[in-house]
Amino acid sequence: MFADADIARIHDAALGVLGRTGVLVREPDAVRLLASRGLHAEGPRVYFDEGAVQAALAAAPSSFTLAGRRPELDLRFGDAGDGNVRTVFATASGAAFALDGDQVRPGRLDDAVCTAKLVHLSRSIELSGDCIEPTDLPEELRTRRSTHARLTLSDKAIEWIASVDDDLEVAIALNEILFGAEWLSRPRALIILNTNSPLQLSGETARLLMRWSHLGQPSCVTACVMGGTTGPATPAGTLVVQHAEVLAALVLAQAAGEGSPFVYGGVSAMSSLRTGAVHFGTTEFALLADATARLAHHVGLPVRAGAAVTDAHVPDAQAMLESVVGLAAGVGAGADFMLQAAGALSSFSVLSLEKLLMDEEAIAMVRALQAPSAADADALAGDVIDAAGPAGDYLGQPHTRRHVRDRDRPSFLVREAGETWRARGDADVRSAAAREVGRRLETYAPPDDLDGLVRRQLDEYCLR
């Protein structure tokens, strides 16, 4: 773990890189906008001085609320000043493949359908990620069809797809159907964008970021620097590149829409210098997740950090060991948002419904550790201890009856005696998770908060 002084040094080093080396911004309109704000540009290469970064940090909100379809579904990103940071967890996103039994196959729309249903029923996952690429559909239909599934099968917030310019047209149209012409009055639609390491913003990222920020809607710009290949071979150097890229994106976002919500994102990892492969399941990923959250806090921004990510290819002990470490690192450092928190295998590339539920259990445990514990008079139970006395019995105490359901949380994990577990016939937790997936999908009931007109308009727009 980096010391606080090291976090400050990484920040200062990134400012130096932005001023000396600059960032390639591969969208002419973005370069012109930044130049109009006083930044020096040489072709697509833009140099970001410390004053511009500090002005952008001052303009961006330290917290915001992502409005849900109902007030109780609102999600807060960042610390609003009360010190109460509660991580928002989202499913895996962007996988090209799905694990089907023991076989890996291309993603399909029914994978998105099943994931949306499981998210709707989940007590731990609040945001539905763009979980898979439905390759069984023509490319021009994929965004609308998969978004329709997530909007109609669950009432929870979604990650709005933002890969090409037309994706934002879909997002605008669907939000107008859902919330009317006034939907822009609040942050409602979160998009995830990525930098191009090292030290680049692609034309697509720059255009999408400018437009969404101009509309006052939130963007999470995430750097995924691969230490040793697209960044230096040391964790600190990798973080310098990551920090510089995200701060450059922040300056562009605030130039396009001052005060627009911005989430600092970092899922950087270290590469193997023997094979060139990037490894997400290592302790270095957790180290970088912790530092990412602390860098964002250092500059006062909401942050995406950590993930239930693994290099394993099946939901086995390695997968869960690596995933829990990634989850705990982000939550322990105070991450506000965690995409890829449930269902990811093979370094983000494969979706597994069984692992989604296994990760859900891990999230519940990590969140329970994050929650404050009481030590008031009732919790200390001094009068109960006195009443029971030495060698006493607590089962019959009224205090015990009042607290009997405090830890009564449904779970498919093994909690019974060995004989009972063996009689049930589950070989391991993966088979228990597969059985639970089937049970939940059989008992699923869709949300009923969309009125008939809105539902017809969604169907007409997305399914035509």
Mean per-residue pLDDT, 183-195: 96
376 CA to centre of own chain: 35
What residues form DSSP beta bridges with 103? 100
Identity of the residue numbered 422: R
User: Which among 193, 73, 152 is positioned nearest to 450, based on CA atoms?
Assistant: 152
Whether residue 101 lies inside any domain: the answer is: yes
Helices (H), 180-202: none
Q: What are the backbone angles phi and psi of residue 259, rounded to the nearest 5°?
A: 90, 0
Encode pLDDT of 400-458 as tens digits: 888 888 777 778 777 778 887 777 776 788 988 999 999 999 999 999 999 999 999 99
Residue 404 within a domain: no
Contact call for residues 298 and 11 (beta carbons, < 8 A):
yes
Measured distance between the N- and C-terminal CA atoms of the chain, rounded to whole angstroms? 52
Which ranges of 154-272 would DSSP assign to H, the alpha helix?
A: 165-179, 203-214, 235-256
Least-confidence region, from 59-63, 127-131, 278-282: 278-282
Identify residue 50 by its one-letter amino acid code.
E
The stretches of 302-397 forming alpha helices (DSSP H) are 317-332, 353-370, 377-380, 382-388
- Lookup result for tokens 């928190």: 341
Average pLDDT over residues 147-160: 97
Tell me phi and psi for residue 164, to 5 degrees. -135, 170
The answer to whether residue 156 sits within a structural domain is: yes
- Measured in residues, the chain has a length of 464
| Residue 183, phi-psi category: left (phi > 0), alpha (psi -120 to 50), beta (remainder) | alpha
* Pick from 68-77, 233-242, 247-256, 426-435: least confident: 426-435
* Cα–Cα–Cα angle for 48, 52, 55, rounded to 5 degrees: 155
pLDDT band at 36 (very low <50, low <70, confident <90, very high): very high
Q: Is 182 a member of any domain?
A: yes
Question: How many other β-carbons are positioned within 10 Å of the β-carbon of residue 110?
Answer: 13
What pLDDT band is residue 368 in, cutting at 50, 70 and 90?
Answer: confident
Residue 95 within any structural domain of the chain: yes
Question: What is the model's pLDDT at position 82?
Answer: 67
Token pair 């929870």 in the structure block, residue: 156
Percent of the chain scoring above 90 in pLDDT:
83
User: Containing domain of residue 341, as a range?
Assistant: 59-370
In a domain, 116, yes or no: yes
**Is a pLDDT exceeding 70 seen at residue 369?**
yes
Q: Which residues contact 433 (CB under 8 A, 6 or more apart)?
A: 315, 354, 355, 357, 358, 412
pTM score above 0.75: yes
pLDDT at residue 411, rounded to an integer:
80
Residue 38 lies in a domain: no
- Residue 276: its pLDDT value, please? 74
**Sign of the CA dihedral 51, 219, 278, 119?**
positive
User: In total, how many domains does the chain have?
Assistant: 1
Rounded average pLDDT over 136-158: 96
- The sheet with strand 269-271 has its strands ordered as 226-227, 269-271, 278-279
Question: Tokens in use for 419?
Answer: 């004989």
Instruction: Give the whole-angstrom CA distance, residue 99 versus residue 112.
Output: 13
The amino acid present at 22, given as its one-letter code, is G
3-state DSSP percent of the chain in helix, strand and coil, to 5? 50, 15, 35
Residue 41 within any structural domain of the chain: no
Between the alpha carbon of residue 135 and those of residues 138, 142, 355, 382, 435, the distances in Å are 7, 8, 21, 62, 26
Task: Give the model's pLDDT for residue 395.
Answer: 87
Q: What is the mean pLDDT of residues 321-336?
A: 95
Contact 114, 146 (CB under 8 A): no
CATH number at residue 298: 3.20.20.480
Q: Judge contact between 250 and 61, C-beta under 8 A.
A: no
Tell me the pLDDT tens digit for each residue of 274-323.
887 888 999 999 999 999 999 999 999 999 999 999 999 999 999 999 99
